[in-house]
């Protein structure tokens, strides 16, 4: 049984409402993902600007915690974190191109680390995963290839990598929501007492 909620679905109307929400959100994410993939440079800049806004929101949250803190050590630490978050956020917003360069290298390093871990995990678990360990191995190799391609083309890859990856992620997430919407037709309905 597919578990998509914390509680069982009580009636057919609730199942239909859930299906419609999955359909709408999935279609919106696919549309946004396709737009991000077709305009990768713009979506890369937007992604960096959005990250900058999130960091500024984190700075504000640390200032609020500093105001509520009772001890000097905690106040100083919260204010220090607020300054770091604030400078990072303002730096990304003020110069998103430099932020894209930095974030692209971080993504390449992340893919290299994750790829190596997947390969090691596949090799150590192949006796337990039967024939399925090959898929994990291939995923790790693909991560290493992507990391190498990003690094080989850097700094020019910084113009499009983040936007492309964000777009691909949105398309796949939207597709998974459409699959969940289709699965709503097959959910067992439970009568709640």
The string of pLDDT tens digits covering residues 148-188 is 888 898 888 888 888 888 888 888 888 877 877 777 666 55
**DSSP per residue over the chain, as a string?**
----SSS---SHHHHHHHHHHHHHHHHHHHHHHHHHHHTHHHHHHHHHHHHHHHHHHHHHHHHHHHHH--SHHHHHHHHHHHHHHHHHHHHHHH-HHHHHHHHHHHHHHHHHHHHHHHHHHHHHHHHHHGGGHHHHHHHHHHHHHHHHHHHHHTTGGGGTHHHHHHHHHHHHHHHHHHHHHHHGGGPPP----
- Please tell me the predicted confidence (pLDDT) of residue 4: 47
pLDDT digits over 3-49, tens only?
444 455 556 677 677 788 888 988 998 999 899 888 888 888 888 89
What mean pLDDT do residues 82-89 have? Answer: 91
pLDDT score at 21: 85
Q: Is the dihedral of CA 31, 36, 42, 47 positive or negative?
A: positive
> Torsion over CA of 36, 41, 47 and 51, rounded to 10 degrees?
180
The answer on pLDDT for 63 being more than 60 is yes
Predicted local confidence at residue 188, as pLDDT: 53
Predicted confidence at residue 3, as pLDDT, reads: 47
Q: Which candidate, 30, 50, 27, 26, places its Cα nearest to that of 38?
A: 30
Residue 7 to residue 89: CA distance in whole angstroms: 39
């Amino acid at each position: 049984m597919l578990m998509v909620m914390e509680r069982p679905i009580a009636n057919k109307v609730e199942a239909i409402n859930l299906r419609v929400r999955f359909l709408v959100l999935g279609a919106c994410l696919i549309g946004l993902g396709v737009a991000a993939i077709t305009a990768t440079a713009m979506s890369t800049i937007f992604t960096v600007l959005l990250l900058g806004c999130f960091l500024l929101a984190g700075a504000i949250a640390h200032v609020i915690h500093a105001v509520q803190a009772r001890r000097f050590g905690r106040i100083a630490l919260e204010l220090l974190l607020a300054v770091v978050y604030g400078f990072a956020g303002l730096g990304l917003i003020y110069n998103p191109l430099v932020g894209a360069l930095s974030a692209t290298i971080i993504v390449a390093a992340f893919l290299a680390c994750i790829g190596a871990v997947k390969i090691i995990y596949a090799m150590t678990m192949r006796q337990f995963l039967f024939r399925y360990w090959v898929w994990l191995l291939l995923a790790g190799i693909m991560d290493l290839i992507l990391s190498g391609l990003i690094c080989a083309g850097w700094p020019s890859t910084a113009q499009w990598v983040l936007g492309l990856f964000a777009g691909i992620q949105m398309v796949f997430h939207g597709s998974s929501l459409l699959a969940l919407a289709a699965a709503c037709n097959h959910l067992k309905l439970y009568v709640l007492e």
